[in-house]
Amino acid sequence: MNPGARIAAAIDILCGIEQGGRPADDVAADYFRRRRYIGAKDRAQISGHLYTVLRHRAALDWWIERVGAGSAAADARRRVFAALLLAEAWPKENIIAACDGDRFRPPPLTAGEHRLVAALSGRSLHHPAMPRAVANDVPQWLLPHLERVFDEDLAREMAALNASAPIDLRVNLLKADRDRAWQALAAEGIAVVPTALSPVGLRLAKRAPLSRLAAFRDGLVEVQDEGSQIAALLADARPGMRVVDFCAGAGGKTLALAAGMANRGKLVACDVAAYRLERAGRRLRRAGVANVERRVLASEHDKWVKRHAQGFDRVFVDAPCLGTGTWRRNPDAKWRMQARDLAELRPRQQNILASAARLVRPGGRLVYVTCSLLREENEEQAEAFLAGHPDFAIVPVRHAWAQTIGGNAPAAGDYLRLTPARHGTDGFFVAIFARIGQNSRDPRDPSR
């Protein structure tokens, strides 16, 4: 494809995202699926244009409004042109030449677009006059919440969230150890390095078509961010235990929990969406997992929970959240979310956590996880749970880390907060609680 055709494709996909409200990766995948003639290199360049717009939409819109140039409000075309000029440093002549209206290429620039391109030519993406939310490419309503977490470190963390995410693989311990998986990938020409925190992780040196690799097809590795791997490891799901993945989704953490159990014991993967559990089934079979029962729940208050009260050693709750920690992979999500979404999620998280807690036996553990950066979804939820459940106590993360991963945890407090800038992972939060019982030991005891 020529540059103009790639620009046209990026504009088409962006229009689809803006009109339909679906996640960007779904819209892009559908677009490429209907156009099999677009090769891997072209898809990568088109996606690059697209994600530059999604990552920096606030700054792009600020510039489009600032220069005016007699143009209308920001739309897909103007945003793509602005991204090419400001973030990708295209000369304006290249944009004009690429938009000549020939087959597969965008129509020529309008008079207003010509003025816009001329006004933005030679400028950089950021400007001292930008408000803080714009300079950090976050929605204005979210800025106070993020400032509360990061304070003076906000710019560094938001810059890391605006970068592209690496591809991390989790070694499936049911089929291989890290050395064997590493060798299998190397035999197929795939370069990896060990992840810094997860003892079962490998990070790709560059992107690769994983679905074509024997190591992936044979279940030796699974795609999973290092932060997500850490969350599953901290659950300390061991062989012979009874474990619940309460919000299993498509099964990424279910697979990790099952690997820790070595196919011994019972693992129940629960979700309210049958289609997500069906997708999990395919992944479980590829990984060689044999101890998982998939169960569709009507809600977090399903009668199944009451019937199995205090019946499990570990209950893992990957709670629904705003997903602010995943913006490296899903930058479009930050522009879809609104303040009311946070207001609706907080009581839902509380209900899910309280209901899941009923499943934990005395001495067992409840693990609360989000891919959120916000205190409202993380520390505040953990503290509210403890205040309302005197039969549970916190397990300091440093103790759980020593038991499961070994060495010193990258956090000194009771909870674990991982961020892209500090740890090179997606944003994750982990809180671990133990149910106090007559025969249970102090959950703060690191030897437990």
Residues linked to residue 170 through DSSP beta bridges, in sequence order? 201, 222
Region of 56 on the Ramachandran plot (φ > 0 left; ψ -120 to 50 alpha; else beta): alpha
Q: What is the CA radius of gyration of the chain?
A: 24
Domain total in the chain? 3
Taking alpha carbons only, the member of 439, 446, 429 closest to residue 310 is: 439
For residue 150, give both structure tokens.
């990061």
Cβ pair 203, 196 in contact under 8 A: no
Residue 412 has what pLDDT? 81
For 169-225, the pLDDT digits (tens) are 999 999 999 999 999 999 999 999 999 999 999 999 998 888 889 999 999 999 999
Q: Quick check: is 162 in a domain?
A: no
Cβ pair 422, 163 in contact under 8 A: no
The distance of Cα 270 from the centroid of its chain, to the nearest Å, equals: 20
DSSP string, 347-360: HHHHHHHHHHHTTE
Which residues are within 8 A (CB) of 232 and not within 5 positions of it... i.e. 6 or more apart?
A: 253, 256, 257, 260, 316
Residue 438 has what pLDDT? 57
Instruction: Return the SS3 of 334.
Output: helix
Question: Are residue 291 and residue 247 in the same domain, yes or no?
Answer: yes
CA distance 14 to 16: 5
Question: Are residue 212 and residue 239 in the same domain, yes or no?
Answer: no
Backbone angles phi, psi at 364, to 5 degrees: -80, 175
Residue 40 has what pLDDT? 87
Question: Are residue 267 and residue 387 in the same domain, yes or no?
Answer: yes
Q: Quick check: is 152 in a domain?
A: no
Which residues are within 8 A (CB) of 445 and not within 5 positions of it... i.e. 6 or more apart?
A: 399
Question: Are residue 63 and residue 212 in the same domain, yes or no?
Answer: no
DSSP 200: T
Q: pLDDT tier at 424 (50, 70, 90 boundaries)? A: very high
State which of 208, 223, 238 marks the end of a domain: 223
For 220-244, the pLDDT digits (tens) are 999 999 999 999 999 999 999 999 9
Residue type, position 431, single letter: A
For 102-118, the pLDDT digits (tens) are 888 999 999 999 999 99
Question: Are residue 269 and residue 207 in the same domain, yes or no?
Answer: no
Question: Are residue 194 and residue 249 in the same domain, yes or no?
Answer: no
CATH number, domain at 192? 3.30.70.1170
Question: Are residue 206 and residue 284 in the same domain, yes or no?
Answer: no
Q: Quick check: is 137 in a domain?
A: no
Question: Are residue 213 and residue 348 in the same domain, yes or no?
Answer: no
CA distance 370 to 316: 11
Catalytic sites, residue numbers: 371
For residue 16, give both structure tokens.
């689809």
Cβ pair 225, 425 in contact under 8 A: yes
Which residues are within 8 A (CB) of 152 and not within 5 positions of it... i.e. 6 or more apart?
A: none
Q: pLDDT: is 250 or 430 the higher one? A: 430
Q: Quick check: is 76 in a domain?
A: yes
Other beta carbons within 10 angstroms of residue 20's beta carbon come to 11
Helix ranges, 316-366 (H): 333-336, 339-357
Mean pLDDT of the chain: 93
Q: pLDDT tier at 282 (50, 70, 90 boundaries)? A: confident
Cβ pair 24, 330 in contact under 8 A: yes
Taking alpha carbons only, the member of 429, 432, 359 closest to residue 402 is: 432
Instruction: Return the SS3 of 418.
Output: strand
CA distance 82 to 70: 15
- Rounded to 10°, the helix 40-55/57-67 angle is 70
Q: pLDDT tier at 447 (50, 70, 90 boundaries)? A: very low
For residue 351, give both structure tokens.
């209900």
Q: pLDDT: is 127 or 278 the higher one? A: 127
CA distance 171 to 202: 7
Residues linked to residue 317 through DSSP beta bridges, in sequence order? 368
Average pLDDT of the residues in 304-331: 96
Cut 0.75: pTM above it:
yes
Taking alpha carbons only, the member of 255, 258, 171, 257 closest to residue 215 is: 171
Question: Are residue 172 and residue 252 in the same domain, yes or no?
Answer: no
Average pLDDT of the residues in 56-69: 91
Taking alpha carbons only, the member of 52, 59, 168 closest to residue 428 is: 168
Alpha-carbon dihedral sign for residues 49, 373, 326, 184:
positive
Task: List the helix and strand counts (H, then E) for the chain.
Answer: 21, 12
Other beta carbons within 10 angstroms of residue 420's beta carbon come to 24
Other beta carbons within 10 angstroms of residue 323's beta carbon come to 19
Helix ranges, 2-153 (H): 3-20, 24-33, 40-55, 57-67, 76-86, 92-98, 111-120, 132-135, 143-150
Which residues are within 8 A (CB) of 19 and not within 5 positions of it... i.e. 6 or more apart?
A: none
What is the span of the domain harbouring residue 349? 226-435
Q: Quick check: is 448 in a domain?
A: no
Q: Write the burial class of residue 357 (CB in 10 Å: 0-12 exposed, 13-18 middle, 19+ buried).
A: buried
Q: Using the predicted structure, report yes or no on whether residue 360 has a pLDDT greater than 60.
A: yes
Q: To which H or E segment does residue 252 belong?
A: helix 252-261
CATH number, domain at 303? 3.40.50.150
Residue 446 has what pLDDT? 42
CA distance 374 to 342: 10
Question: Are residue 49 and residue 71 in the same domain, yes or no?
Answer: yes
Question: Are residue 8 and residue 46 in the same domain, yes or no?
Answer: yes
For 244-276, the pLDDT digits (tens) are 999 998 889 999 999 999 999 999 999 999 988
Q: Quick check: is 163 in a domain?
A: no
Q: Using the predicted structure, report yes or no on whether residue 308 has a pLDDT greater than 90.
A: yes
Q: Quick check: is 443 in a domain?
A: no
